[in-house]
Amino acid sequence: MDTATARPAVPSQAASVSPRDAAALTGSGAAYVVDVREPDEHRREHVAGASLHPSSSFSASGFPAAIPGRTALILCRSGNRASKVAAALRAAGRTDVAVIEGGILAWAAAGLPVVANAKAPLPLVRQVMMMAGAMLVTFTALAALVNPWFLAGTGFVGMGLFMAGLTGFCPMATALSKMPWNRATAPQLPANTPKTAGSGATCCS
């Protein structure tokens, strides 16, 4: 066997691979990348050639079918969502999946190439943080300078964030997702990606 031309392979039942190993595997054709972040995250920065299948609308049946001889390398921001998706796929009987350790943050930190679009809107979760922070500062300033009753506004914002964390649904994110700057650049999801009420409207990443 000519070892110089042999393709690298993911060890059997490997739970994860490093970003550099993932790049070598995809470059050789032994694997492909599936990005499970949300569309707003993907359009701002992603690995070239990665297919998008958001974890917020994940289903084992809707996930890309296994390709003989190739491994699906699952990518998210830091590895948490990818690990959950991989675990669900393994529970459904898939043996061809592995997680890219550290997600796209580790991928970029390793000096590997990413497709970046600085003109794309910030991810929704960051827009929500900025909006909530601005509202809290505004209500606090109004309470100090105008009327203490404006402190009720800070309580309203805090309760909204608490409920978003508790339920996984964020009305502020839903409203922001409908803004022109977000809708104008929103990519189309793959045809086999099921849409759910929480898709694109969650605060948790």
Cβ count within 10 A of residue 4: 5
Interhelix angle 151-167/124-145, rounded to 10 degrees, is 160
* 76 belongs to the catalytic site: yes
Q: Is 97 in contact with 71 (CB distance < 8 Å)? A: yes
What proportions of the chain, in percent to the nearest 5, are helix, strand and coil?
Answer: 45, 10, 45
Q: Please, what sign has the CA dihedral across residues 37, 49, 102, 59? A: positive
| DSSP H stretches of helix in the chain | 19-28, 39-44, 80-91, 103-109, 124-145, 151-167, 171-177, 180-183
- Cβ atoms of residues 79 and 103 within 8 Å: yes
In degrees to the nearest 10, what's the CA dihedral of 124, 65, 30, 85? 40
The CA–CA distances, whole Å, from 187 to 44, 53, 59, 147, 183 equal 11, 12, 20, 44, 9
Q: Which residues are catalytic?
A: 76
